Structure 1
């Protein structure tokens, strides 16, 4: 049924409804994508194949996070299924999982059991793009470095969502339903290692306050409804190199709003309804005194 090539087993695109029995020890990568495998199709013996570290299961017919995956799997591709629920028990089996792709499923906030992701204690990258989440799941693993929850229905981020994520470096929440009112005060201040934050295509009226400035290099705020940037909005972002505020509703900028951005290399501000009178003249003066590389 499958083709073996050294440490790789190719079982993809074979109309399988279950994982074949007898996956041998020594196999490291298992290709099972684009089949018709459902949740009943994972034999218990699969969990004990210790050598498998990468599994491709995208494009199948899963409606729950599967049980009995190889116990030492580090990279898991489950995108383009119909997964709706994620249990703690399923993730508790995968203590070495580092990278989890769950894009393009049907996962809702109520479908994620409380603390389910925290069971995956080694998880570094979590991709939940294109699902049905209405809020960021609470109880994410503390060592997470990258989180993508873009293209969901998130309207609320609680102050608990990122509380322990002191290792998170990249956060993408593009294409959701976020307003300033839906983001709890101090939500982002816990993210002390954050280097890139993208909150594109939402409904913000001003930049989120309390952004952590220690490491933040890239900040993407384009395609919102931003009509005002408070004077202190960027005052602690001294490491910031890229800022995009294009495609918003900005008519003017308060003098001094960029004064603390001493490392800025790229500022994009196009497609705003700028009101060009004397009150914006300071921008041309500011541009004279910043590095020519901007």
Structure 2
């Protein structure tokens, strides 16, 4: 029944369909659900009501759907959800509430749904996460909260999500991440926190994430990274720090991530990298260094030498000098001692 331009559903539309196990109502124009419309569908397993015009969902409309495992309500106009909307749906594994108009989430919305594996609440207007929202959800593997207005992450908000594989917090307003907030996520493989307002990464902020392979922190306001910020990430393969405000890095910052294969440092404010910064990265396959104001005086010699020894790892384009003087626009890898150290007077100018 998907994509049929349905505008309304009669309360008896599915009466007697006791054996129905899948119902697709996606891509219609449904504005209202009678609270008894699904009462006969006690064997329903999959219900898709996405891409409609729903502004609210009656609190008891799913009360007989005790076998439901998949519920998609994405791409509607939902502004609020009753705390008991999903109560009793104990077999539910996949719930999708993305692309609505939700500004808040009831603290007990997911209470008792211990078989949940996927939760998608992206592209809404959610401003905060109630402290106990994910309590008891030890089987959840995917949690997508991107493109909301979340500014703060309560302590222990992810504490029970011990099976989580992917956590997406991209495109929110998060200013600070407390050390230890991810400490129970020992199974996490991907963490996306790009497009927020983070200004620094403190020591131990990623502790406990022994299996994390992908960490995306691009497009924040990062100015400082503590030398022990990446401790606890021994399996990290991909690190994206591009499009931030970084001017330098601690020389030993990458020692905890020796397996790193891909790194993006482009589009920051780097003028140089401290001696030895990239030495721990013996497994690196590519690094992006462009769109930084590399200052080609004596301090650039380490990076020049490293690029010449690892030219096959430079991804996209070779980084260029921003200056000083006539060195502006030249490739960093072509710089020699005579070019950059004999001309110290130019740097001073």
Same fold (TM over 0.5): yes
The Cα of 1:42 is off from its aligned counterpart by 4.2
Partners of 1:79 and 1:255 lie apart in 2 by 46
- Of residues 125, 131, 154, the one that matches 1:132 is 125
Q: Higher mean Cα deviation, 15-24 or 120-129?
A: 15-24
Cα separation, 2, equivalents of 1:188 and 1:274: 29
Q: State the alpha-carbon separation in 1 of the partners of residues 180 and 39 from structure 2.
A: 41
**Cα distance change on mapping 1:65 and 1:146 into 2, 3 Å:** farther
1:81 correspondence with 2:76: yes
TM-score normalised to the size of structure 2?
A: 0.73
Task: Please give the TM-score of this superposition, normalised by the length of structure 1.
Answer: 0.85
Question: Deviation per CA, 1:142-178, whole angstroms, max 9, x where unpaired?
Answer: 3221111111010011103112221222110011111
Name the CA distance, whole Å, in 1 between partners of 2:53 and 2:227: 51
In structure 2, do the counterparts of structure 1 residues 207 and 282 end up closer, same or farther at CA, with 3 Å as the change threshold? same
Higher mean Cα deviation, 216-225 or 119-128? 119-128
Relative contact order higher in (CA < 8 Å, ≥ 6 apart): 1
Q: Does 1:168 align with 2:161?
A: no
Select 1:265's aligned residue among 241, 261, 279: 261
In structure 2, the partner of 1:246 is: 242
**C-alpha separation in 1, matches of 2:89 and 2:222:** 42
Could you say if the C-alpha distance between residues 40 and 76 of structure 1 is closer, same or farther in structure 2, counting changes exceeding 3 Å? Answer: closer
In 2, the alpha carbon distance for the partners of 1:65 and 1:120 equals 19
Give 1:266 shift.
Answer: 0.9
The partner residue of 2:228 within 228, 232, 237 is: 232
In structure 1, list runs of 5 or more residues that go unmatched: 1-9
Question: Distance in 1 between the 2:90 and 2:255 partners?
Answer: 46
Q: Which runs of 4+ in 1 moved over 3 A?
A: none
Q: 1:171-217, CA deviations, whole angstroms, 9 ceiling, x for partnerless residues?
A: 1001111111xx44532222222211110001111236431332111
Superposed CA RMSD: 2.2
Find the aligned partners of 1:292 and 1:178 in 2 and give their Cα distance.
30
Q: Which residue of 1 aligns with 2:46?
A: 54
Deviation at 1:292, TM superposition (A): 5.6
CA contact (8 A) 1:199 1:220 kept: yes
Instruction: Give 1:207's aligned residue.
Output: 201
Q: Output the CA distance in 2 between the equivalents of 1:292 and 1:237.
A: 15
The aligned counterpart of 2:21 is 28
Radius of gyration: which is bigger? 2
* Alignment-derived partner of residue 179 in structure 1: 175
Deviates more, 1:166-175 or 1:54-63: 54-63
Long gaps (5+) in structure 2: 287-349
